Amino acid sequence: MGKRSKNLTPPNQLLVEGKNDYHVICNLCKQYNINIPNTFEVKFPEPGAEGVKNLLDGLPVKLKEENLRILGIVVDADQDLAARWQSIRGKLSASGYPESDIPDSPQEKGWVYQPKNLFLKRVGVWVMPNNQLPGMLEDFVALLMPEDDKLRPKAEEILREIERDGLNRYGEIHRAKALIHTWLAWQETPGMPMGLAITARVLRRESAIAQVFADWLQQLFQAEIPETNG
């Protein structure tokens, strides 16, 4: 893609809730030879405006940006996957997307939609962690942990112990966050950020969910992304 004015809307964008999502997705894309930002830009809210509510509330305005061609949306399911999806459907419907064309529930491999109406943008939606379960980014990242890893059972045991004793200060929805950061604290480089852990191959891009997510990105931006080496 050629040079553009700094004030011009990037034509292909992937909206995420915050910086952690940004770093995880950017590092995962590197592993799949998905060229950021030449094919699409990953965008997250300004400081103080992070989170799914602000992202979804901004969709009707975002989808009217003149230069925008393709918009990807990555949000956490949190505790209620069905409610999250209905929120997304409502925002898209309010933006002119036919409700009959929007699935009643998230698609297992992510959703991509090319509208017949030339005035509507191509859109795609991925609901973390895997479009099928409640949870968030950290639940997705936990699925990138090596299956035969011997530290994960130890980390899970520690969490169960402190939960049994009532010492945990995190809620159930944040359990995966406690797990992944406990596990990362025990690696060769303790406390490595999640995105960097993908690049360092502490987390495995070969995990099935990583491949499905990369495939969704390629389908969404297929006209813009060169073939990956695997």
Residues 84 and 177 in one domain: no
pLDDT digits (tens, 9 = 90+) for 164-175: 999 999 999 899
What phi and psi, each to the nearest 5 degrees, are found at residue 217? Answer: -60, -45
171 and 107 share one domain: no
State the CB neighbour count (10 A cutoff) for residue 20: 19
Do 214 and 220 touch, CB atoms closer than 8 A? no
Pair 54, 148 in one domain? no
- Cα–Cα distance between 205 and 31 in angstroms, integer? 7
Edge to edge, the sheet with strand 12-15 lists 41-43, 12-15, 70-76, 122-128, 111-113
Same domain for 58 and 89, yes or no, is yes
CB 45 within 8 A of CB 51: yes
pLDDT tens for 95-143 read 999 999 999 999 999 999 999 999 999 999 999 999 999 999 999 999 9
Q: Where are the beta strands (DSSP E) in 6-155?
A: 12-15, 41-43, 70-76, 111-113, 122-128
Examine the domain organization and report whether 150 and 130 are in the same domain.
no
The reported pLDDT for the residue numbered 7 is 59
Provide the residue range defining the domain that includes 103: 12-136+205-220
Encoded tokens for 89: 């459907």
pLDDT at 230: 37
Do 106 and 187 share a domain, yes or no?
Answer: no
Number of domains into which the chain is organized: 2
Considering the domain architecture, whether residues 77 and 164 belong to the same structural domain is answered as no
